[in-house]
Structure 1
């Protein structure tokens, strides 16, 4: 069954009615459940299996029955491992209804339906005792309720409740414990993701961030990234990795919901502590012999055999006040956690500051409004220089500028470069508050007026009777998901032409969508079928995921491709170009085919797409590759690209062609991309 639903079109900025499966949200939740990524993690699967076998052997050696409880069973994989390893009794619970049904079918297909009791509930809803969910308590707990932050999915509460209500006192837990590590680093580059920097517009003028932002501790949440993909030349280690917490999952007294630690380290280099890197490892067996580490390569116990994983990455945290240190200086790392999150401070060893008990919160509003990627983009010196150069070429003392972007500093740049008047169109209320704080702090309120009305509601009075003679945008919008959603800039320009002079210059005046065929080293795993995992048939899971993906997923998704290495296998193709000086709604539908020529033989598992914006022949901003050669692509650190991932890789030979078909209906903003399933 299908139904019409309304949504905001990010390209036109207007509400539209689209026909969707009436269970669209349900299917989207299934398709994006991220189980497949974990199931492709061979190290995880093998070490869980080893831990489960060992626990069952120990229980049996005591002369007891092995009674297993699997919390959050997902596909049922861990329960089937327990069954295959000789467990006498297995109870599995799964609160996510579609996955519980899927697990039931998987268990049946693998012949374990009689061995495993599946309960579609949260573990905290289970009751143990005669006639209840579990007739008796379990003596083995196996579960995977961990995330990049380790405790962000509620692991502490899950383990504590299980020990109190569902487990015997002398039970075993797989994994047994987790150890958390941090490392201090100095990095001007990494600081760009957290601290908005002053922006120099002329030799004597600077757009300065409000004072509150320079003192703000930033967003309270972790910044999860693939640390291995940050160029080592972009940061300097200031300390060795050091353990800060140990979480004993088998503790009968419970894991503390709030805890602190203070660890003193000696600085390796001179610099400013700009960031705290964090990762963890888990001990799968009671003896702590089977270790799974999420450390980056320089701290990993087996750096030559790293397992790629996207479900457990590493994290960056930012101290509220960066500390300058000398070589061999003693530094105290203050660490805290509550039931779901972590935070850190770094102070001199002589500082008597206690470990931070209260979780820091953003006070300036910037970090809660703008993503870290966007903050990095705003701090990108080369990008900003393009804007400054373009404005210098086009501005005059009589310029009446209109800036169309969200949370952009372009209006302040234009005002400082000498524009007579600047109007800044803001579609996002939170961005509006941030922009006004910038305007007030830089004393540009007399030159800049912020407009927040809908496009169709704006009047000549809002523009103070002035005619716009220059339009500029980054363009960047909070509603944009895919790179080309910034076409909203074009629609906004056309809607407001009634307030502009004839032939008004538009910066940028052209947008291009580009594409390249790629063999991603690992990214393909997030969409690839699992098939068989540790000897268990998971075809049912693959079918469920694919069915839901077909009903809910776009064939292009946004990804920060700098985190995912790949080899280019085709030429770069221009998929589409847009001249923003034309009236968009008067244009006829566009349909083009871009041919990507295979430059070498190999296996294509994705097509990467990005946008470029042209200000003039010499001034172009690209959200795509910073470096592109025969063997690798280095992507922009502060942008997301689009990527189409194939379920099955396609074998190619040099000289073959891959056609990307593009269609666009200007009147409605409907945009579509089709990718070949065979190579011509």
Structure 2
């Protein structure tokens, strides 16, 4: 399920009674079927539950939000608290938009009380929160912290609020944190425009006061491989074509990611430059455009713009918060030496990478390029041209994108483009398809998932093959596949595209024939942001289609392995640790809701979460890679258990284990597609991260080799946790995977 965050401009919701029913859309983890579930939400005053009787489905969704990470961001919390203390001095009415847990409202409430005002002049606070689960949690936390009537909490969007109904008067202070990594994506501009026009007095104070977006031109091959599939394929000699330059080259793409792990392979081509500054103490413009000349400082090819933002939280310019990469953190003109700008690793805000079209722009030191930045209400876009005019003007890019069909846009994320251009991955798929089809004069091959790579590789392996490609995510159409086939030449088998789930395949679709080869990468668009074993959906679908398979049907993949490694991940563990209080406000009741690690009480379990571990800060592996269980697709799907023991090879704090899937494409195991973490190096895959309740000091048996990331541990050979036992249970009914870990 996609991440959820409290949004001031979220879909409209009416008032919900204390005991309510809501419909929640969810994806069946095994079948891929979208389902609607009835979720009952009872008032927490009635049942005394940990989260007001909130249904398990909603709690599971909340573990994937960034709330826990934000509340563990001590730099953010401290900066907001200091700025709010200054802003609310003498204030009569404070408005908090997108209250979340109510933290900012509580900061304002305490700051106003600490002024020593008379009871008649205490002032008031109104907060709005549109996401029902967060509204209920905020209400509970306000009671826990004995705020009482000090904060009036409204379950509405800010643009639904009216003075005289929801607020007794206009507010003279606005506090908010409706910011995403790009700054604008959570509705900052429309929310503030409505507030300034309808809910605030003229010249109201705002926290934050100002926001500035900065950018920098960079060269980085990893980023290029995440964007220019036609360019990557031009370097390869496998004959398989997946990207059409006519469709891909000029479409602007952006992605939020941590760029610090790429610093060693990133070549900086310009100094940081200002893109936009938004004065938040007045209504910001809905759209804008700015062109500036940027000096090139190094020779290279500009593959991308890296952008970040800086908040000035107070009017005086003494309190700042930056999302900039580490290489500019302490060398920037906007840093105030009186305010500690030590930024910890965090997941909730990253940098944004804007990919330049195609192969990028070749530049030389001393050159100047023209950067045109445009913004609408929710996003920022860029056009970069050399001073000689090379590059495509913005209006031509817009016209090109209208004329060219937007194909498989949903599935072609930067990571997915990287996978499709990854030579070892492509070679494994191509060889497996050729091997499976080699001994058959003519065959029916069915590709079950959304794998364009598997489809084109199997069709190019044998001109006599009949390929039926399901594409259940409806991301690829017949027209695009036909274009690729023509590009690859005449020796390509016929491909029939069916934008349906595999379970809809019938004997009529096969023309009365049986399936000789059943294939999947496996890659399902709907599971791309989920845990890696969600692709065991292939096993479920292979079981469902048993009656359609020929006697000696080949399966690709034929087996899979759940693999893992014990890890030291201090930054990631810290971002999801158990919270007792935030800036002096009790938040202990949120931990089980968000799946915090640390002092989480039994029977609550820390959930396994999908993350690309190379993006998760400091990382070191403490054991060799181990196998938890094996899945054999020649048998129908079944519930399975697996247990393994592995020796610890390094000494230090162990924060959890990382899990992933390896897919065997042939029976002898010589062709394996791995989604593993590659030792923490940049990859294109997500893994499952299972954090422990608390870090466990482990020690290598025999000679105790120490981790270079961890402080020395006071361990000896007798007391060290040197042997780890991992047990896994796969539930074939719902696709859930439960993993437990113990040490001896």
TM-score normalised to structure 1 length: 0.85
1:305 alignment partner, one of 335, 339, 342 = 342
- Partner residue, 1:272: 301
What pairs with 1:393-432 in structure 2 (closer than 5 Å)?
393=435, 395-396=437-438, 398=441, 400=443, 402-404=445-447, 405-426=449-470, 427-432=472-477
- Partner residue, 1:610: 660
Q: Give aligned pairs, total.
A: 656
Distance apart, 1:458 and its partner CA: 4.2
2:97 alignment partner, one of 71, 76, 81 = 71
Pair 1:663 & 2:729 matched: yes
Deviation larger for 357-366 or 117-126: 357-366
1:519 alignment partner, one of 568, 577, 592 = 568
- Tell me, in whole angstroms, the C-alpha distance in 2 between the residues paired with 1:339 and 1:669: 40
- Partner residue, 1:477: 524
What pairs with 1:371-450 in structure 2 (closer than 5 Å)?
371-393=413-435, 395-396=437-438, 398=441, 400=443, 402-404=445-447, 405-426=449-470, 427-433=472-478, 434-443=480-489, 447-450=493-496
Is residue 411–residue 422 contact of structure 1 (8 Å, CA) maintained in 2?
A: no
Q: Could you say what secondary structure the match of 1:178 adopts? A: strand
Q: Would the alpha carbon gap of residues 9 and 107 (structure 1) be closer, same or farther in structure 2, given more than 3 Å must change?
A: closer
Is residue 28–residue 549 contact of structure 1 (8 Å, CA) maintained in 2?
A: no
Distance apart, 1:264 and its partner CA: 0.7
- Partner residue, 2:671: 619
Pair 1:236 & 2:267 matched: yes
1:176 alignment partner, one of 209, 213, 218 = 209
Distance apart, 1:445 and its partner CA: 9.1
Q: Could you say what secondary structure the match of 1:311 adopts? A: coil
Segments of structure 2 that go 5 or more residues without pairing to the other structure are 1-18, 42-54, 114-121, 333-340, 700-719
- Tell me, in whole angstroms, the C-alpha distance in 2 between the residues paired with 1:511 and 1:280: 43
TM-score normalised to structure 2 length: 0.78
After superposition, give the CA deviation of every residue in 1:337-377 in whole Å (9 maximum; x if it has no partner): 11111111101224498766997778441333432221111
- Tell me, in whole angstroms, the C-alpha distance in 1 between the residues paired with 2:542 and 2:248: 34
1:331 alignment partner, one of 369, 372, 377 = 369
Q: Would the alpha carbon gap of residues 183 and 166 (structure 1) be closer, same or farther in structure 2, given more than 3 Å must change?
A: same
1:640 alignment partner, one of 686, 689, 702 = 686
Q: Could you say what secondary structure the match of 2:243 adopts? A: coil
The answer to which structure, 1 or 2, has the higher relative contact order (CA under 8 A, 6+ apart) is: 1
- Partner residue, 2:737: 672
Distance apart, 1:248 and its partner CA: 0.3
After superposition, give the CA deviation of every residue in 1:380-423 in whole Å (9 maximum; x if it has no partner): 11211222343455553736362523132233223334453141
- Partner residue, 1:227: 259
Distance apart, 1:559 and its partner CA: 1.5
- Partner residue, 2:352: 315
- Tell me, in whole angstroms, the C-alpha distance in 2 between the residues paired with 1:143 and 1:92: 12
Segments of structure 1 that go 5 or more residues without pairing to the other structure are 628-632
Q: Could you say what secondary structure the match of 1:207 adopts? A: coil
After superposition, give the CA deviation of every residue in 1:601-639 in whole Å (9 maximum; x if it has no partner): 443332211011223444322100323xxxxx33x6211
Pair 1:598 & 2:648 matched: yes
- Tell me, in whole angstroms, the C-alpha distance in 2 between the residues paired with 1:550 and 1:34: 23
Q: Could you say what secondary structure the match of 1:518 adopts? A: strand
Q: Could you say what secondary structure the match of 1:367 adopts? A: coil
1:51 alignment partner, one of 77, 83, 86 = 83
What pairs with 1:39-118 in structure 2 (closer than 5 Å)?
39-57=71-89, 60=90, 65-86=91-112, 88-95=122-129, 96-118=131-153
Distance apart, 1:260 and its partner CA: 0.5
1:576 alignment partner, one of 623, 626, 629 = 629
Distance apart, 1:474 and its partner CA: 1.9
- Tell me, in whole angstroms, the C-alpha distance in 2 between the residues paired with 1:240 and 1:165: 40
1:340 alignment partner, one of 349, 362, 378 = 378
- Tell me, in whole angstroms, the C-alpha distance in 1 between the residues paired with 2:306 and 2:559: 40
- Tell me, in whole angstroms, the C-alpha distance in 2 between the residues paired with 1:201 and 1:318: 19
Q: State the superposition RMSD in angstroms.
A: 3.7
Deviation larger for 72-81 or 491-500: 491-500
- Tell me, in whole angstroms, the C-alpha distance in 1 between the residues paired with 2:35 and 2:428: 35
Pair 1:193 & 2:242 matched: no
Q: Would the alpha carbon gap of residues 468 and 28 (structure 1) be closer, same or farther in structure 2, given more than 3 Å must change?
A: closer
Is residue 183–residue 240 contact of structure 1 (8 Å, CA) maintained in 2?
A: yes
